[in-house]
Structure 1
Amino acid sequence: MQSWQLPEHVADVLPTMARQLESAREQLLALFRVHGYELVQPPLMEYSNSLLTHIDAGLSLKTIRVADQISGRQLGIRADITPQVARIDAHLLSANNGINRLCYAGAVLHARPDGFFSTREPLQVGAELYGYDGIAADIELVDLMLKSMALADFGDVLLSLGHIGVFRALAEAAHLDREQSAQLLALMQDKDAEAVRKLVAGWQLDGMWAKAFSLLPTLYGGREILAAARAKLPDLSAVGKALDELQAVCDAFPEQALHIDLSELRVDNYHTGLLYAAYGAKSHDAVARGGRYDGLGGHFGRARPATGFSFDLRTFIGRLPDAGRSPVIMVAQQDAAAAREAVAELRAQGQCVIVDYGMEHNGSANIAGRLKNIDGSWQIVGV
């Protein structure tokens, strides 16, 4: 094997794609900025416990760990930026007891890819709102997520909604332990109501809870699912609150294509409430995912309500207009020193000026003119 080959699921980004990524990043951060979200840039690595690997098994498996040669402690290379932003809100921005709107854009590293075609180095972009526990905050973030999708050509976008609160309310009422909850969550992903029924039957649960868990994998579809859930699920206040929140989101986006799934629970362990995702017209997986994760900052000394979403910026490649390379102004090598001031002025204006060494170069196809001295002044002439 060649020593220069990259690890599996890791790839270089070449100029055309790099321009698209940077263009998408600029547009998204500009969108976040006009909605009041301020940019933060957490470090690529921290002590592994600060990345919450000790409380989230899925996140722990994704995190690459190395020994810190200075402190001797274990470092983690971030696999998710959300815990870092929660730390910033809880600690560095603790003087603000009101709302913090924060956004970010940076690389994360995964020990293993999420799927066969997934990269191990996603470029994670996201927005988070801390300090307000009302459903209006979730609606604001869903709206911003959909606006982010609208910047690129994803076709007709489908908004998918779920709520971890429904399952957790049932699990608590049925007195399930953590291991039982984890087993049920795994089966829910396959929409296998029969497997769920057999599992809960073996636990000899009260019939009402056994029926409710068996129903959850069947409660998916359009907006009508909420009425069906109210009619069929046990009358628990926490279940009712979760359904009310889902209804509020549906009402906020009356024209949006929408799918509700009460067993769609593919979440990190830190999520606590509403779950939302956006799918493109030809996307086999969600382009963006988000949800509520109240209390995450408690691991850093300040528990706060929070909601937010993120996505891999690489999904925007090929879905934005080609940014193209800037037109190039050439200056001959022998003229470069004499034309230094003219070149500096053109570059300050945003023009791309490169020195011509008499060889082919990667700007050859974009030459817009040449800088030449005509009657004592430097002027751009056509090629």
Structure 2
Amino acid sequence: MRRDRWLLPAGVEEILPPAARHAEQVRRRLLDLLDSWGYDLVMPPLVEYLESLLTGVGHELDLKTFKLTDQLTGRLMGLRADMTPQAARIDAHYLRRDTPVRLCYLGPVVRTRPDEFGGAREPWQIGAELFGQSGPRADAEVLRLMLALLECAGFSSLHVDIGHVGVYRALAREARMEEAVEQELHEALRRRSRAEVDAILADLALPARSDRHLRTLIDLHGAEAEFMALEAILADAGPEVQVALTDLKAMWRVVDQAQPGIRWHFDLAELSGYGYHTGVVFSAFVEGYGQAIAQGGRYDEIGRAFGRSRPAVGFSADLRLLLKLRDEPAQAPPAILAPCCDDKALREAVRALRARGERVIEVLREGAEQDQGTGCDRELVQQDGRWTVVARR
């Protein structure tokens, strides 16, 4: 007979009191922030038919998705691993507005593997998506909102990486690369493997200008001044590249003016999410943690599979991770202890206190010690025929 029935799968954990109460307080605060920016809350289902769940998102998300068979229809279903495609489906298929749509969400997603060693397989994904609006100002709004959310969650001294996958896409088109080679070079750039990049380009024997642009793309990163100097390498690139660089800098200027103090790092070889991102990409980091704590970007093509391609930009983060990194001590909230007494006036007093937002814990049996760990710093006592709240001794 197994004695480890209490064990949870690796990467799956539960939150106990009082930490769960603290998590809920942060959740409400962040949703209120998103609402204050005009982003409407949606609650997509945890499980969907697989073809809807994975439409337009690439192979990487497919590998992260748990699959199961629907007992009613026999069709293959999946547990969502990312809520962004669900938000795109809602905008394209259900709302169908011609004006910009702002949506936000917060809920669990389930993944076959964690994103990092020891990471969670059931993140609480919080995010926001802006549909139907293109251009640097729309990108800047979403990035500003991401930074405001992280600040609301208690993070300061942020380091933000920004890039534009459109630069690499345009250079690959100029070089007339085959899709398989484009993907291979993309992976080499992501790994920062100069040897692989040089080997791939040597085999292609591209025109000198295309070879130079792609070979030096791995070096096009740095702080503002450094990046602006290196950018001259692409001065003779085609118009698509110039538009992408102009949009990237325009977005950065808007956000930098609105939220000074951010440490910026430009990086044109940052191609995370290349499978569906089409424009700017951005990630936020904090000292002492090597992975991004929030990330986002533009993904204009994702709605096409749902019958309505619209401009789209968004971001997401894992609320569980944010809470873990903040590591704030969670304490039981102050409460009032009510005695075990069948008295109408006592019941009315308890009801009135709870209506005012007080936490009241009733003793269920005379003489029982039931207040341990409850945080009761006050109690209801009868004085001069009235029930009164007094400090506990």
TM-score over 0.5 (shorter chain):
yes
**Partners in 1 of 2:182 and 2:5 — Cα distance?**
46
The residue type equivalent to 2:388 in the other structure is Q
Tell me if 1:27 matches 2:36: no
Change in Cα spacing, 1:39 to 1:54, as seen in structure 2 (3 Å) is closer
Please list the CA deviations of residues 250-306 of structure 1 after superposition, one character each: whole Å capped at 9, or x if unmatched. Answer: 322053310001001111522110001111122211111000011211211211101
2:285 is aligned, of 279, 282, 295, to 279
Q: So what's the TM-score if we normalise by structure 1?
A: 0.93
Q: How does 1:22-171 map to 2 (within 5 A)?
A: 22-52=24-54, 55-94=57-96, 96-171=97-172
User: What residue number does 1:237 align with?
Assistant: 239
The residue type equivalent to 1:329 in the other structure is I
Please list the CA deviations of residues 84-124 of structure 1 after superposition, one character each: whole Å capped at 9, or x if unmatched. Answer: 00011111111x21011111111101101111021001111
Change in Cα spacing, 1:140 to 1:55, as seen in structure 2 (3 Å) is closer
Q: CA deviation at 1:321?
A: 5.5
Q: CA deviation at 1:7?
A: 0.5
Q: Is the 8 A contact 2:68 2:76 kept in 1?
A: yes
Change in Cα spacing, 1:338 to 1:274, as seen in structure 2 (3 Å) is same
- Match of 2:224, SS state, is coil
Q: So what's the TM-score if we normalise by structure 2?
A: 0.91
Q: CA deviation at 1:3?
A: 2.3
Change in Cα spacing, 1:51 to 1:268, as seen in structure 2 (3 Å) is farther
**Partners in 2 of 1:7 and 1:138 — Cα distance?**
38
The residue type equivalent to 1:344 in the other structure is R
Q: CA deviation at 1:55?
A: 4.7
Q: CA deviation at 1:344?
A: 2.1
**Partners in 1 of 2:321 and 2:150 — Cα distance?**
10
Change in Cα spacing, 1:248 to 1:90, as seen in structure 2 (3 Å) is same
The residue type equivalent to 1:173 in the other structure is E
User: What residue number does 1:343 align with?
Assistant: 350
Change in Cα spacing, 1:133 to 1:361, as seen in structure 2 (3 Å) is same
Change in Cα spacing, 1:336 to 1:323, as seen in structure 2 (3 Å) is farther
Change in Cα spacing, 1:55 to 1:327, as seen in structure 2 (3 Å) is closer
Q: Is the 8 A contact 2:293 2:322 kept in 1?
A: no
Change in Cα spacing, 1:188 to 1:359, as seen in structure 2 (3 Å) is same
**Partners in 1 of 2:224 and 2:212 — Cα distance?**
22
Q: Is the 8 A contact 2:79 2:110 kept in 1?
A: yes
Q: CA deviation at 1:164?
A: 0.6
The residue type equivalent to 2:361 in the other structure is I
State the Cα RMSD in Å: 2.0
Q: CA deviation at 1:338?
A: 6.5
Tell me if 1:359 matches 2:369: yes
Change in Cα spacing, 1:54 to 1:231, as seen in structure 2 (3 Å) is closer
Unpaired runs of at least 5, structure 1: none
Tell me if 1:330 matches 2:337: yes
The residue type equivalent to 2:32 in the other structure is A
Q: Is the 8 A contact 1:53 1:60 kept in 2?
A: no
Please list the CA deviations of residues 143-198 of structure 1 after superposition, one character each: whole Å capped at 9, or x if unmatched. Answer: 11111121244341111101110110011111112211111111112222232011
Q: Is the 8 A contact 1:21 1:316 kept in 2?
A: no
Please list the CA deviations of residues 35-71 of structure 1 after superposition, one character each: whole Å capped at 9, or x if unmatched. Answer: 1111111111111111125751000000011111112
Change in Cα spacing, 1:168 to 1:97, as seen in structure 2 (3 Å) is same
- Match of 1:5, SS state, is coil
User: What residue number does 2:230 align with?
Assistant: 228
Identity of aligned residues (%): 39
Change in Cα spacing, 1:198 to 1:186, as seen in structure 2 (3 Å) is same
Q: How does 1:262-277 map to 2 (within 5 A)?
A: 262-267=268-273, 269-277=275-283
User: What residue number does 1:176 align with?
Assistant: 177
Q: Is the 8 A contact 1:53 1:59 kept in 2?
A: no
**Partners in 2 of 1:103 and 1:235 — Cα distance?**
37
Q: CA deviation at 1:17?
A: 2.6
1:377 is aligned, of 365, 380, 386, to 386
Most deviating of 25-34 and 120-129: 25-34
